[in-house]
A and B are shown apart, each in its own frame.
Chain A
């Protein structure tokens, strides 16, 4: 196993106040890391740091050689999107390829092929001509996931991907994400949903009170949780 992302002694702060202190974890090739944490525990700050949108005040985030921060596929919280936006599914997914286009202004066959491949992988190619705003919550997540895969396929970062989805759509989403993970893409998922995400995770990071409470496998995590009670 090779690490694709290593976080060492990471401290993040806003205006001199530490939000997170001394965080350590790593992500292996093909890994599935779930990050838990209560509201306000600094999860979103950690995401920003992983995406290089926030500078660490101490410590280091190292990516595998040759990989840049913008090579992390990102799935933002769907609730933050403008609800009435007029866009086709095709337009949304294609826009994921932009970060690899350099200065080229228009999409070529190469970008269209990447988009098509990822849409077929997530079985949404038949939604190509649908309007994004009219899709169900689960379909929207698949579209955004396809967009994320277009921008990167070695590491995905998912921010609360199942919040707002009903149980059926949630199960469906986990199935899709496991399929992608099995195909070799490493996944980092920030989640509230402790119970069902433990069943898909390969590693768990629990942050709280500014620092790491736990980092290890789901099995060890469950044991520790029981011991804690």
Chain B
């Protein structure tokens, strides 16, 4: 309790908590669809693109969110297209895409500021990352993501469950797939500086997997995933402060623990 009190006395931690919780919410609900549709790698690809975009933003000395949101949204379009590319194979195409984006980011930074602490923060996340204006942008964007998700919820269920039926009965499945990819892109950009490029995709994948081991219905899985994600983020940030470890890594490890517990519970029940 004492730790939590001191934690909230720092305004930079408050900022990280606010943004982190919103990002956890967005990523956990979107993650369920991505995992079920076998698109989890898209999250990973986008986080690497987002690293490249942040490096470019830093080199141009402009606002990180303003530059990286559009770049990553465009990348989401391409990733979705190439993940269906039968010539390269979806997973290989995404791997090429991510490592290239990462390489561009590293080259751009080493040519401008050099490999420094900033790069390290982008890779592994930092609790100090959020400025006040970042918080405003993040709150607005994540509210938009959540509202759109809610409005599209029934459609997203339908295309996740059975895309061919949805397409046959006249749903614009490409539009909804794209919407999910774009919302994911925005979420990843928002969360990346706290969680780090290498760790952000876990926020998408872990809560969804844990929730799927606990709940049996789609709505239950979505709600459960959201709750798990927020609790894990909060616990992770408290632990990171108490044990003085980077926040991204501690959030991932808390998520891993929850995932193992839920798998164990499913095993015992079965």
Contact = CB atoms under 8 A, between A and B. Distances in A.
Nearest to A77: B164
A80 B165 CA distance: 11
A68 B171 CA distance: 13
Interface in B192-245: 212, 215-221
Contact of A69 (B151, B165, B170): B170
Contacts of A92: 161
A114 B220 CA distance: 23
Nearest to A68: B170
Given A95-B154, A105-B152, A147 B165 contact: yes
A200 interface: no
B36 A82 contact: yes
A131 B216 contact: yes
Given A53-B167, A74-B169, A80-B164, A98 B216 contact: no
A99 B217 contact: no
Contacts, number: 83
A106 B154 CA distance: 7
Question: What is the predominant secondary structure among interface residues of chain A facing chain B?
Answer: mixed
B2 interface: no
A91 B170 CA distance: 19
A131 B220 CA distance: 11
B78 interface: no
A98 B158 contact: yes
A91 B165 contact: no
A86 B165 contact: no
Chain B interface, >50% SS class? helix
B168 A70 contact: yes
Q: Which one of A68, A80, A88, A91 has the highest number of Cβ atoms from chain B below 10 Å of its Cβ? A: A91
Nearest to A129: B217
A140 B263 CA distance: 26
A91 B162 CA distance: 12
Contacts of B160: 85
Contacts of A7: none
A87 interface: yes
A72 interface: yes
A141 interface: no
B166 interface: yes
16 contacts: A72-B168, A73-B169, A74-B168, A86-B218, A86-B221, A87-B157, A88-B218, A91-B217, A95-B157, A96-B165, A98-B171, A99-B169, A99-B171, A105-B153, A107-B154, A151-B169
Going nearest first, the 6 A-B pairs with the smallest beta carbon separation are: A70-B170, A74-B168, A131-B216, A99-B169, A95-B158, A88-B217
Interface of A: 51, 53, 68-70, 72-74, 76, 80-82, 84-88, 91-92, 94-96, 98-99, 105-107, 131, 134, 147-148, 151-152, 157
Given A87-B157, A98-B154, 19 more contacts: A70-B169, A70-B170, A74-B165, A74-B168, A82-B161, A85-B36, A85-B161, A91-B217, A91-B218, A91-B219, A95-B157, A95-B158, A95-B161, A95-B162, A99-B171, A105-B153, A107-B154, A134-B216, A152-B169
Interface of B: 36, 150-155, 157-158, 160-162, 164-171, 212, 215-221
